[in-house]
Amino acid sequence: MEELDYYTRNKEARKLYQRRYYQLNRARISRKRMLEEIDNPKKFKDRKNYNKSYYEKNKEKILKRRKEQYLARKTLVAQT
């Protein structure tokens, strides 16, 4: 159970690191996906289907999180 505690404690730091990594490597990741789509259309189609089904399954949770983030940004801008 200690392993779970470690991941729970470091969840925010890990999410921040992953987000930063994606932002720094967005162009490279997009280029790789584009080439992958050309090379293997089935893999691209499978990824799109997975993303679509994930969104449909978790739509309420995703929209709730987006709303919270929007309101947080809005109040932050209003305070400055």
Largest interatomic CA distance in the chain? 49
How much is the pLDDT for 5? 83
Q: How confident is the model at residue 80 (pLDDT cuts 50, 70, 90)?
A: confident
Q: What value does the mean pLDDT of the chain take?
A: 92
C-alpha to C-alpha distance for 58 and 52, rounded to whole angstroms = 10
How much is the pLDDT for 40? 94
Stretch 11-20: mean pLDDT = 94
User: How far, CA to CA in Å, does 17 sit from each of 8, 11, 12, 27?
Assistant: 15, 10, 9, 17
Residues 6+ apart with CB under 8 A from 14: 7
